[in-house]
């Protein structure tokens, strides 16, 4: 489903070129639960940027659902991302001037993948799934951190993406709330959503299909399908 072939990413900086990703090859199958771990500055963000089409590789190809992202222009790439990729950020990144429901609806409206008539019902249903049915009209500043992250998940799911990318989704939450969020991700993955999660947190007790470890831009470890770490 997602194929990264010999990906290199080089950033130019006043201090010289920075080789953020070096000859990365990675294959993720539909429905996989992938956990990416690595130290700060190891290249995790660059990897996620490349997979989601936010950034382009300096060389190599990335093919998602038979679509070579290198063939897409800037706006086509944005539209593709909206339709195919859901992103959950560490700091929720909700739109503060829109209500909970509108944050989700707005994401739908941007790409119009979901028929207009169904958008509202579907957004309400996603919010119900994450336990926010009673807070549809609330604004982000009226929610707790955990609730905001749930809205962010509902929004990421708004366009029925085949891939959900989560960047430190529990990094800003207490352990109990973080656990609840992880359960939601788990549930989504069980429903067939491909899940790529970057985390610093302890992954003990989490199930995964692949565990990717990055160090200095090199994928040094890929592992073991459906292994539950203990």
Partner 1 sequence: MRVIISKLLKDCWLSKGKLLLMLVSAALSAWGISSMIYSYQMAERDFKVNFASTYPADIEVLIGNYQPGLEEKLLADLKIIDLERREVLGARIKNANGEWMPFVLYGAEDEKSVRLNVFRILENRTQEKGKILIETNAQFFLDDTKDSIELLFPEGETIKWMIGGTSHDPRLAPARMERAVFAHSTSLKLLAPHLKNGQRRFLIETNVSSDRQLLEEVSERIKKIAKSEGSEVLSLVIPTPGEHIHQNIVDGISFLQKSMGGIISLMGIILLSLILLTWVFPRISDLGIMKAIGASSIRLFYAYLMVLSLIILLGLIIGLPLGYETARAYNNLVAFVQNFEPVTDAFPFWIHLLVAFVAMLIPLTFAAFPLLKASKTTVQQAINKTFYLANKRIFQFSQRVFQDSSLKYSLNNLFRNSSRSLLMLMLVAVGLGLFLTGANLEYSVKKELENFANSAKYGLKVRFSGQMKQEEVSFIRDLPFVESISAMDDKTVHYKAPNAFHSNTRNLRILSPQHEIKEEFVLLGQVDKSCSDCLYISGEAMRQEFEDKQLGHKIELTMPSGEKNTFVYSGIFKDMAAIGSPFFAYKTSKLDSFTALAIEIKSDFTALEVTNGVDDAFLEKGIDVAGMINVNTRLGQLQGHLEPTYLIIKVMGLVTLVLGLLGLIIVLNLCIQERTRELGILKSLGSSFGKMVGLFRLEFFWIGIGAIFLSILLTMPLNAALCKVLGETVIYHQIPPRNFWSLIGLSSVIFLLIQYLLITAFSWFRIRKSANAMMAHQF
Kindly list the residues in this chain that would bind partner 1 in the complex (CB under 8 A): 44-45, 48-49, 52, 54-55, 74-75, 78-83, 87, 89, 93-99, 102, 105-107, 109-111, 137, 139, 141, 155, 159, 167, 198
Give whichever of 92 and 208 is closer to partner 1, judged by the CB atom.
Answer: 92
For the bound state, the minimum distance from the C-beta of residue 60 to partner 1, rounded and expressed in Å, comes to 19
H helices within the chain, ranges in order? Answer: 44-52, 74-84, 100-111, 116-129, 145-157, 175-190
The structure tokens 């006043």 sit at 14
- β-bridge pairing 210-215 and 33-38: parallel
Give whichever of 190 and 215 is closer to partner 1, judged by the CB atom.
Answer: 215
For the bound state, the minimum distance from the C-beta of residue 215 to partner 1, rounded and expressed in Å, comes to 17
For the bound state, the minimum distance from the C-beta of residue 29 to partner 1, rounded and expressed in Å, comes to 23
Kind and range of the H or E run holding 195: strand 194-198
Give whichever of 14 and 230 is closer to partner 1, judged by the CB atom.
Answer: 14
For the bound state, the minimum distance from the C-beta of residue 20 to partner 1, rounded and expressed in Å, comes to 11
Give whichever of 111 and 229 is closer to partner 1, judged by the CB atom.
Answer: 111
For the bound state, the minimum distance from the C-beta of residue 230 to partner 1, rounded and expressed in Å, comes to 29
Cβ contact 38:20 at 8 Å? no
Please tell me the distance from the alpha carbon of residue 172 to that of residue 145, in angstroms, as a whole number. 8
Please tell me the distance from the alpha carbon of residue 77 to that of residue 100, in angstroms, as a whole number. 26
Q: Give 58's contacts (C-beta < 8 A, 6+ positions apart).
A: 8, 9, 10
Give whichever of 80 and 185 is closer to partner 1, judged by the CB atom.
Answer: 80
């Amino acid at each position: 489903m997602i194929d990264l072939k010999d990906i290199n990413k080089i950033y130019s900086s006043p201090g010289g070129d920075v080789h953020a990703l070096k000859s990365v090859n990675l294959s993720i199958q539909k429905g996989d639960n992938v956990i990416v771990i690595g130290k700060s500055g190891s290249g995790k963000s660059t990897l996620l940027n490349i997979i989601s089409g936010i950034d382009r590789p300096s060389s190599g190809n990335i093919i998602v659902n038979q679509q070579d992202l290198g063939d897409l222009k800037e706006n086509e790439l944005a539209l593709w991302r909206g339709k195919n990729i859901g992103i959950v950020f560490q700091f929720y990144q909700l739109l503060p001037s829109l209500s909970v429901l509108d944050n989700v609806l707005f994401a739908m409206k941007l790409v119009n993948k979901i028929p207009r008539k169904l958008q509202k019902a579907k957004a309400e249903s996603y919010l119900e799934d994450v336990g926010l049915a009673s807070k549809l009209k609330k604004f982000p500043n009226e929610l707790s951190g955990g609730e905001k992250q749930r809205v962010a998940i509902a929004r990421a799911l708004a366009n029925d993406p085949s891939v959900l990318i989560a960047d430190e989704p529990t990094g800003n939450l207490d352990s109990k709330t973080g656990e609840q969020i992880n359960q939601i991700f788990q549930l989504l993955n069980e429903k067939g959503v491909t899940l790529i999660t970057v985390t610093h947190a302890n992954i003990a007790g989490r199930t995964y299909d692949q565990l990717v470890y990055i160090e200095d831009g090199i994928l040094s470890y890929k592992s073991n399908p459906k292994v539950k770490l203990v």
